[in-house]
A and B are shown apart, each in its own frame.
Chain A
Amino acid sequence: GQNIDQPTEMTATEGAIVQINCTYQTSGFNGLFWYQQHAGEAPTFLSYNVLDGLEEKGRFSSFLSRSKGYSYLLLKELQMKDSASYLCAVRDGSTNAGKSTFGDGTTLTVKP
């Protein structure tokens, strides 16, 4: 099975940088996702890492270390609209559907 840990809540200031960490213990690994979910809305895809290293996409970057079972999502130049829940999910490579197990999510509050 999968065990995924991420902080429950974080607060940051508009314009700042925030790093949301995710650690995992898995029996099978085929990549790690980050999703963003605004209150009352569906999760939307942010990033996918399958190899070690940093993936940058605009203001958002995601890092993976498979040997350490560790990932982080880095958000730069924070905006008020970044207030949301950020979900870390590990993809299981042992099934045809590539099902994912999600962490409980980190609720980020961006303050002016």
Chain B
Amino acid sequence: DVKVTQSSRYLVKRTGEKVFLECVQDMDHENMFWYRQDPGLGLRLIYFSYDVKMKEKGDIPEGYSVSREKKERFSLILESASTNQTSMYLCASSYRVEAFFGQGTRLTVV
């Protein structure tokens, strides 16, 4: 079975902190994605990557950056966390069709 692992299930950070969310997949997938999920807004794509060191902006990239130095790992970085970035963050990977999601990180910025 494909496994997508996110480093933390719950995270509490202070406003202004730099935050790293890590995601690792074990199936050698080229494509990896970061979404955030908010009530009433669904899943919104922040950034995605289709190869090592390649990244593209999604629909809501402002305030975020990403890093993909190795194929299996895709990191989401909040340069200076703000309260409006409190959300559920979901990482996903895919090869051809379906996406496999991690369990999510519920981030609270106080």
Give residues in A with beta carbon < 8 Å to B.
1, 31, 33, 41-45, 48, 87, 89, 95-105
* Interface size bracket, B side: 20 to 34
Q: Within 8 Å CB of B44, what residues of A?
A: 102
Contact of A98 among B31, B42, B103 (CB under 8 A): B31
B36-55, CB < 8 A from A: 40-45, 48-51
Contact of B40 among A87, A97, A104 (CB under 8 A): A104
Q: Check B99 against A100 for contact (C-beta < 8 Å).
A: yes
Q: How far is A95 from B47 in the complex, measured between Cα atoms in Å?
A: 13
Number of A-B contacts (CB under 8 A): 59
Q: Within 8 Å CB of A33, what residues of B?
A: 98-99
Q: Check A99 against B48 for contact (C-beta < 8 Å).
A: yes
Q: How far is A101 from B58 in the complex, measured between Cα atoms in Å?
A: 10
B102 closest partner in A (C-beta): A42
Tell me, yes or no, whether B94 is within 8 Å of chain A by CB: yes
Q: How far is A101 from B46 in the complex, measured between Cα atoms in Å?
A: 11
Q: Check A96 against B102 for contact (C-beta < 8 Å).
A: no
Given contacts A42-B90, A42-B104, A43-B90, A97 and B56 within 8 Å (CB-CB): yes
B46-99, CB < 8 A from A: 48-51, 56, 58-59, 90, 94, 96-99
